């Protein structure tokens, strides 16, 4: 990186492949072998398996939505908003613990083994939640599930970014959000019978063991991240995995890209202090703030408590929640299509701007100005639009963007740090939402959420750079200042 011109990082795979290949190996290989992009079909199965971690994240995020009332009746804490908040937030506390150590686990045992490990606490926790007879058993089970939720999505984002070809990395990165949406939809559909069948909520926890077991099993046959293997000094294995993921014709170029100097020493251990000062600080600040603003927008209050909120407007919760899940899924599909066309930054700006408007509709709906019918449409429509616009950018982009902008030396641990910030904010939002809703009312609370969405627009405009179509090494050399 020293002495190199890195202002323009917009070169694509086709333009730079031959030139860099010559620079790296001192001779020119046949240009036919470097024509075009590597096939996305090779890496797709590995990406799909990894996104099972995101499916489980979405499922456990929404599993208490429709079932919370039945759980509270069966476990004798009905009417206690604090206990209900703890059932939600204990899971988030566990996710904080899991995400905090995810970077060290991913760097220690590899991305593949880390994804297998995240399935274990999810299986244990789901079993405990399904069999418990009291609130404390439920809280302990949710704590175990949470540790897997914190570990899995962070490592999945790393894994997907490192095994995907650059030209489809945004699209493949969106798969994690789509998988989360499918998990959320699955939990909502499972919960539809919770009020009609006694004890059905226990089946909702039991069924989550199936995708967790599949994740642990199928990752055994999936490729390891070549980036992690190279960083660990296992260069021959890294080349073998590149061949599995990209095809033989693209192995040498991909390996040459990986071998480029980045201005840092990958062999040095990364300490927490290294993330909080020096040349890495700005990237850590951007990542942490982006995740904090994502949660302060209030999005997860919709996923956790939409049944309660819709009931206050007289909306049937089962239909409303399905509509929310569908809106989230459709928005994620659109984001997948646009991610590598419009870019990450444009989607973030459009998403947060739409969330400001959506929250404004909910504020008006919660006021005394409209009639009951108008309030219904404003509140329900605003909430659905809020989820839709969130899923277009604010949902899928942050984890993808962070896995792209962090240098390879600190990528896993930096992601872990930023995700831990995400879960801390998520925990307190989930814990305090219902009490605040009772104390200050929906109008003021939604105004606060809307203000954070507006702050997010300003923050993205000033701090976020575009990364579409660039290799991880190109992004790293452009963003990381020379020591």
Does residue 44 sit in the same domain as residue 126? yes
> With b meaning 16 or more CB within 10 Å and e meaning fewer, what string describes 269-299?
ebeeebbeeeebeebbebbbbbbbbbbbbbb
Does residue 331 sit in the same domain as residue 309? yes
Does residue 351 sit in the same domain as residue 317? yes
190 in a domain, yes or no? yes
Q: State pLDDT tens for residues 38-92.
A: 888 889 999 999 999 999 998 998 888 778 888 988 998 887 878 887 887 788 7
Does residue 52 sit in the same domain as residue 153? yes
Does residue 426 sit in the same domain as residue 310? yes
Q: State pLDDT tens for residues 12-51.
A: 333 333 334 334 333 334 333 444 678 888 899 999 999 9
2 in a domain, yes or no? no
Average confidence (pLDDT) over 83-110: 86
Cβ neighbours of residue 466 closer than 8 Å, sequence gap 6 or more: 343, 344, 345, 346
- Say what percent of the chain tops pLDDT 90: 30
Does residue 166 sit in the same domain as residue 184? yes
pTM beyond 0.85: the answer is no
Does residue 332 sit in the same domain as residue 397? yes
Number of domain units in the chain:
3
pLDDT at 382 over 90: no
| Residue 311: band (very low, low, confident or very high) from pLDDT cuts 50, 70, 90 | low
Dist. CA 143–CA 124, nearest whole Å? 10
Residue by residue, DSSP assigns 362-422 as: HHHHHSSSS-HHHHHHHHHHHHHHHHHHIIIIITTHHHHHHHHHS-TTTHHHHHHHHHHHH
* Domain that residue 251 falls in: 231-260
Q: State pLDDT tens for residues 408-436.
A: 778 888 888 888 888 888 878 877 877 88
Residue among 207, 73, 210 at smallest CA distance from 138: 73
- Where residue 361 sits, what CATH number does that domain have? 1.20.1250.20
Does residue 280 sit in the same domain as residue 161? no
- 391 against 93, higher pLDDT: 391
Does residue 73 sit in the same domain as residue 164? yes
Does residue 238 sit in the same domain as residue 363? no
21 in a domain, yes or no? no
Average confidence (pLDDT) over 273-289: 78
327 in a domain, yes or no? yes
Does residue 195 sit in the same domain as residue 330? no
17 in a domain, yes or no? no
Cβ neighbours of residue 207 closer than 8 Å, sequence gap 6 or more: 190
**Structural tokens at position 414:** 């930096």
33 in a domain, yes or no? no
Does residue 100 sit in the same domain as residue 247? no
Cβ neighbours of residue 245 closer than 8 Å, sequence gap 6 or more: 38, 42, 43, 46, 163, 223, 226
pLDDT at 472 over 50: yes
357 in a domain, yes or no? yes
pLDDT at 222 over 90: yes
Average pLDDT, the chain: 81
Dist. CA 208–CA 189, nearest whole Å? 13
Dist. CA 30–CA 105, nearest whole Å? 40
pLDDT at 388 over 80: yes
């Amino acid at each position: 990186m020293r002495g190199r011109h890195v202002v323009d990082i917009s070169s694509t795979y086709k333009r730079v492949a031959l030139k860099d290949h010559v620079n790296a190996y001192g001779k020119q290989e046949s240009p036919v072998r470097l024509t075009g992009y590597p096939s996305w079909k090779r890496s797709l199965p590995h990406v799909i398996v990894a996104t099972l971690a995101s499916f489980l994240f979405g499922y456990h995020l929404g599993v208490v939505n429709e079932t919370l009332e039945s759980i509270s009746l069966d476990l004798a804490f009905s009417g206690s908003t604090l206990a209900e908040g703890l059932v939600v937030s204990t899971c988030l506390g566990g996710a904080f613990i899991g995400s905090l150590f995810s970077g060290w686990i991913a760097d220690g045992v590899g991305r593949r083994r880390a994804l297998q490990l995240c399935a274990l606490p999810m299986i244990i926790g789901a079993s405990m939640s399904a069999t418990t007879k009291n609130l404390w058993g439920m809280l302990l089970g949710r704590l175990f599930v949470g540790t897997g939720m914190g570990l899995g999505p962070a490592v999945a984002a790393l894994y997907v970014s490192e095994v995907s070809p650059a030209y489809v990395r945004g699209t493949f990165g969106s798969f994690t959000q789509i998988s989360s949406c499918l998990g959320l939809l699955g939990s909502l559909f499972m919960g539809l019978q919770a009020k009609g069948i006694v004890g059905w909520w226990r089946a909702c926890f039991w069924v989550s063991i199936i995708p967790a077991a599949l994740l642990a099993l199928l990752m055994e046959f999936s490729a390891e991240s070549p980036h992690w293997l190279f960083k660990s000094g296992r260069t021959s294995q890294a080349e073998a995995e590149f061949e599995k993921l990209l095809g033989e014709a693209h192995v040498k170029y991909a390996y040459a890209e990986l071998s480029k100097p980045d201005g840092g020493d990958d062999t040095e251990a990364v300490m927490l202090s290294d993330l909080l000062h020096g040349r890495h600080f700005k990237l850590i600040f951007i990542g942490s703030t982006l995740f904090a603003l994502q949660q302060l927008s209030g999005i997860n209050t919709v996923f956790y408590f939409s049944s309660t909120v819709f009931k206050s407007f007289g909306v049937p919760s089962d239909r409303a929640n399905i509509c929310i899940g569908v809106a989230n899924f459709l928005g994620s599909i659109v984001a997948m299509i646009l991610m590598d066309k419009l870019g990450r930054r444009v989607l973030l700006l459009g998403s947060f701007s739409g969330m400001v408007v959506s929250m404004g509709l909910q504020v008006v709906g919660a006021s005394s100005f409209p009639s009951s019918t108008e309030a219904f449409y404003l509140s329900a429509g605003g909430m659905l639009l809020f989820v839709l616009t969130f899923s277009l950018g604010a949902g899928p982009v942050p984890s993808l963007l962070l896995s792209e902008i962090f240098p390879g030396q600190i990528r896993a641990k930096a992601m872990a740090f930023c995700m831990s910030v995400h879960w801390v904010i998520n925990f307190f939002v989930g814990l305090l939402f219902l009490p605040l809703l009772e104390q200050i009312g929906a109008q003021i609370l939604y105004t606060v959420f809307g203000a954070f969405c507006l702050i997010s627009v300003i923050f993205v405009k000033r701090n976020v750079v575009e990364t579409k179509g660039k290799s991880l090494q190109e992004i790293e050399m452009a963003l990381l200042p020379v020591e």
